A and B are shown apart, each in its own frame.
Chain A
Amino acid sequence: MHELSIADSVVRIASRHADGRQVTKVYLKVGYLRQVVPSALAFSFELVAQGTPVEGSDLEMEEIPATGKCHACGAESQLNSFPLQCKTCGNLDLELIAGEELYVESLEMEDQELTG
């Protein structure tokens, strides 16, 4: 259940960047290889956001496919399963160029500070 820790960290980051405003939407990028279960993360997020400026906001998760660049032929392949293998020449020696991301990209907030 690393989703709970991830949700906690997302809420902290969003709260800090909100500068006292009410957050309405959090855009999160998640690489395919991160093994994040979206439903578990959404559930955790809702729970952890309670009592913070992020409470009630939407979590928009975008999954980034895993992509590798072949060291042998230079082709780029989208990687959906193991082994991570070049789809052009079958080589296993790839440089992973996408798929391990895990970051808060942006926030939407109300244009007004919360009071009280």
Chain B
Amino acid sequence: MHRTAVKKVVFEGVLDANDALAQANREKFDQAGTYVVNMMSSPGAGKTALLEHTLDRIRGKLRLGVLEGDVQTTLDADRLARFHVPLVQVNTDPGFGGECHLDANMVRSGLSELPLNEMDVLIIENVGNLVCPAEFRVGENVRVMVYSVTEGEEKPLKYPLMFRSADLVLVNKVDLLEHLDFDLEQFLGNLDAVNPGVERVLTSARTGQGVDEWCSWLERHGTLS
């Protein structure tokens, strides 16, 4: 049988479907007056530990809620449950082999369980991963990246996708600096190379250093919305 080939011009963005859902999420957030932070990092950088400090300090000042993304388990959500803030866990496991990031649809699926109208700020704790979460908008107002000094100075150059998309970088675990060969100046130079002048706060979830500064940042942004 003779078959001829035909060509069809498509010009469709690979992430268009996700971006449309992200936009719908954003409209929902804007309507509720909820400021949304997409918090991203590699696994073990200290997102949950910083969130514990954040919830502890800011509870009386801002009405916070948390959407936890994880490939498996509810361990992070369990850690935050004692703060009695609206909290929803989204497991990405049902995706093919467990998705390595949250996308706009997964976030949407968690929103029905959150009282957005009663929240000033929603913090979305993304899946620990230094590449994929940066690719998928979820409707956030701002991207906060947590980076720990145990990860090495060169990572901004190796993973520019995420570092370039961050609006604020929390440089965490600085209490360990005296024990490490980590060159903070070199790291900050690399950070400026990929994202010139991006805001940064040095933090330690262990000693509490910088947590006030981060919380003030969040209060400032969260009350503007």
A2 CA / B138 CA spacing, docked (Å) = 15
- What A residues does B7 contact at CB under 8 A? 106-109
Residue of B nearest to A101 (CB): B13
Known: A12-B17, A33-B161, A111-B5. A106 touches B10 (CB 8 A): yes
Contact of A51 with B by CB under 8 A: no
Q: Which of B177-221 contact A (CB under 8 A)?
A: 190, 192-194, 196
Q: Which of A12, A82, A92, A104 has the most CB of B within 10 A?
A: A82
Total A-B pairs, Cβ < 8 A:
97
Q: Mark A1-23, 1 if CB is under 8 A from B, else 0.
A: 11011101110111001000100
Q: Mark A70-109, 1 if CB is under 8 A from B, else 0.
A: 0000000000001100000000100000000011111111
In terms of DSSP, what is the predominant structure of the interface of chain A? mixed
Interface contact B14-A33, CB-CB below 8 Å? no
Known: A5-B136, A24-B5. A107 touches B10 (CB 8 A): yes
Binds A, one of B74-82, B94-102, B107-115: B94-102
A85 CA / B157 CA spacing, docked (Å) = 14
Interface contact B14-A102, CB-CB below 8 Å? yes
Residue of A nearest to B157 (CB): A82
Chain B residues near A (Cβ < 8 Å): 3-15, 17-18, 96-97, 99-101, 103, 131-132, 135-136, 156-157, 159-161, 164, 190, 192-194, 196
Seed contacts A107-B10, A109-B8; 18 additional CB < 8 Å A-B pairs: A2-B101, A2-B136, A4-B96, A5-B101, A9-B18, A10-B14, A33-B160, A34-B135, A83-B192, A83-B193, A103-B11, A104-B10, A104-B11, A106-B9, A107-B7, A108-B5, A110-B3, A110-B5
Chain A residues near B (Cβ < 8 Å): 1-2, 4-6, 8-10, 12-14, 17, 21, 24, 28, 33-35, 48, 82-83, 92, 102-112
